[in-house]
Amino acid sequence: MENSVLVTGGAGFIGSSLVRKLLKIDYSVIVLDNFVNGDKANLQDHQNLTIIEGDITSSEDIKKCLITNPEYVVHLAAYHFIPFCDSHPAETIRVNTYGTQNLLEVISQQNNKIKKIICASTAAVYPPTEAKCREDDKSGPIDIYGISKVSGEEVVNLFNKRTEIPSINARLFNAIGPRETNPHLLPDIIEQLQKGNLDIHLGNLIPKRDYIYVDDISDGIIVLMKSKVNYGNFNIGTGNAHSPKEIIDIIGKVTNKKYNIISVPERQRSGDRPFLLSDNSKLSSLGWKCNYTITEAIEKTLAYYHIV
């Protein structure tokens, strides 16, 4: 079907943002989601939206999605909350690596006319460094999540070589915004703000991350989808990094309140990398740009939850 996109994990945080944008620019969208982390409430009713409840590890569920012959596939279904992944390594590999392999295997067997596949990878594939991460850097994950995604990238690259179906790995940095489905930093802070807390309990305060607004990630995926690029890895990040303390300082300015940060030992992750920052020049060369500053991203997110 022309102008149609299959989005796995489409009811999740990034997936639902992407689905809204695709529908707005007149694509038909098929969503595959098992609703373990995704939420049907994240998806609007739309005549061009089809929702299939199913699992990325099920060949039969994937075949149901391919009946309409989508032109594009954006693969976002994955476990990506680090504490969960660390506690469930086998399940993480099963979903993140085998799930990717299964999706691509079914696509190759169906012999449909898919123009391009965009697979979501992660900045966690990079080794710890204080430099900006470039796509040609050697991989060096430090946790099972990163390992599962490096393996997924290799599966995608091999599929691309064997089938010549254009396939791209999009390395996503730390997404923030409304409807986040895992208790990462900003959702954790928001939950405390909603209770009226001025004392904000966090874990490690020093690590800096490249926080990018979810809609900017969706725009990056769409740019890759529409581009003439047929393979490779692409970072999607802002090129700026901020610590939890800096995030709280921004929230304080936005809300005009003073917050006291308390680092709680049991919340601190051992082996947490100190710095993670993207070099986004490769994606920018295709015409993508980051539309939201960190302050604008936080302000929009707080407004969604009626905090400002």
Q: What is the CATH number of the domain that holds 97?
A: 3.40.50.720
How far is the C-alpha of 41 from the C-alpha of 11, rounded, in Å? 8
- Summarised one tens digit per residue, pLDDT across range 164-199 is 999 999 999 999 999 998 889 999 999 999 999 999
Task: Kindly state whether residues 96 and 185 are assigned to the same domain.
Answer: no
Indicate whether 62 and 154 sit together in one domain: yes
- Kindly tell me if the per-residue pLDDT of 290 is higher than 80: yes
46 is written with which tokens?
């739309």
Pair (162, 202) in one structural domain: no
Which residue has better confidence, 268 or 246? Answer: 246
Q: How far apart are the first and last CA of the chain?
A: 43
> Do 262 and 205 share a structural domain?
yes
215 plus 275 within the same structural domain: no
Tell whether the model's pLDDT for residue 226 goes beyond 90: yes
Same domain, 244 and 232: no
Tell me the C-alpha distance between 194 and 172, whole Å.
28
- Report phi then psi at 232, rounded to 5: 115, 180
pLDDT score at 170: 98
If asked whether residues 140 and 191 sit together in one domain, one would say no
Q: Is the pLDDT of residue 289 over 90?
A: yes
Question: Quick one: 250 and 193 in the same domain?
Answer: yes
CB 3 within 8 A of CB 27: yes
Each residue's pLDDT tens digit, 68-117:
899 999 999 999 999 999 999 999 999 999 999 999 999 999 877 899 99
Domains identified in the chain, total number: 2
Instruction: Give tens-digit pLDDT for 129-141.
Output: 999 999 999 999 9
Residue owning tokens 């959702």: 187
Per-residue pLDDT at 266: 82
The per-residue b/e assignment along 185-207, b for 16 or more CB within 10 angstroms, e otherwise, is bbbbbbebbeeeeeebebbeeeb
Show which of 187, 221, 236 is a domain's final residue.
Answer: 236
- Does 20 score more than 80 pLDDT? yes
Instruction: Name the average pLDDT for the chain.
Output: 96
Phi, psi values for residue 99, rounded to 5° = -60, -40
Distances (CA, A) of 141 to 164, 197, 200, 243, 305: 28, 35, 30, 21, 34
Length of the chain measured in residues: 308
Q: Specify the pLDDT at position 1.
A: 73
CA dihedral 83, 85, 90, 94 (to 10 degrees): 160
pLDDT at 271 over 90: no
Residue 141 structural domain:
4-173+211-236
CATH (domain of 181): 3.90.25.10
pLDDT at 267: 83
Is-contact 66 6, C-beta < 8 A?
A: yes
Are 251 and 230 in the same domain?
no
Same domain, 105 and 229: yes
| Distance (Å) of CA 191 to CA 30, 176, 180, 202, 246 | 32, 14, 12, 12, 18
Residue 92 CA to residue 98 CA, distance in Å, equals: 9
Residue 280: pLDDT band (50, 70, 90) is: very high
Q: Which of 220, 236, 252 is the last residue of a domain?
A: 236
Residue 268: pLDDT band with limits 50, 70, 90: confident
pLDDT on residue 110: 85
Q: Is the pTM of this model over 0.85?
A: yes
Are 185 and 244 within 8 A, CB to CB?
yes
